Amino acid sequence: MGSLNKYRSGLNYFGPPSTLPNMSERLDVPNTCNPHVSMAQFPVPQLYKSKTPRGKTMDFIVFGFPLCNNYLLDFADAHNILCDEQDPYRRRLNVYVHLAWTIKKRFDAICVDLSEKEDGTGDNASFCVAIASNRTKKHLSRMKSYPHFEKLAEFLRLSPDAAGWMFPDRADAIDLIRDGTQVI
């Protein structure tokens, strides 16, 4: 866990990765733990496009774990993925594809780009592992019914407290919704 500890406090498409054989065996997916234990600690926002108490329209937001590009390299190191790859960009991209595929298949979550732009350091949250959104009541109800929260946090090697609500990149979110994702 060493180098992933710095991500524990939080940071304020997908098909089988055919180019990455046998990587699923390298990722340690934790055993089932008690679901719903810590999802209740997070506030539940209003529905998308509803009126706030101040008369403004509620924005579309997603709930999940914000991640940065440098996290991908640390995640790869922690799981011994593509250790021989010398190009950090290629390594991050391959790990991102594999991570996205794994969380979709095993955790019923999805990677979503965030509206924040990359500043070049690799340390700002550029995407998230999304669990829920405020798009509809059904999507918002995942805050009460999502069974993999702590297991997903453990898999990502993050504290459950690192999760939160954030603004997705609008174009990416629209593409995912059009593709039929049930997560957001």
Q: Under the phi-then-psi rule, with left for phi > 0, alpha for psi from -120 to 50, and beta for the rest, what region is 82?
A: left
Residue 132 is predicted with a pLDDT of 94
> How many other CB atoms are there within 10 angstroms of residue 138's CB atom?
11
Instruction: Please check whether residue 78 is in contact with residue 151, taking contact to mean a CB–CB distance below 8 angstroms.
Output: no
Residue 41 is predicted with a pLDDT of 84
Which residues in the chain come in under a pLDDT of 70?
A: 1-38, 117-120, 122
pTM: 0.77
Residue 15 is predicted with a pLDDT of 34
Going by the DSSP 8-state scheme, the letter that residue 69 receives in this structure is H
Specify the 3-state DSSP secondary structure of 107: helix
Nearest Cα to Cα of residue 162 among 78, 73, 68, 64: 64
Question: In angstroms, rounded to a whole number, what is the distance separating the alpha carbons of residues 126 and 69?
Answer: 7
Residue 18 is predicted with a pLDDT of 41
Q: Report the b/e string of 75-112 with b at 16+ CB within 10 A.
A: bbbebebbeeeeeeeebbebbbbbbbbbbbeebebbbb
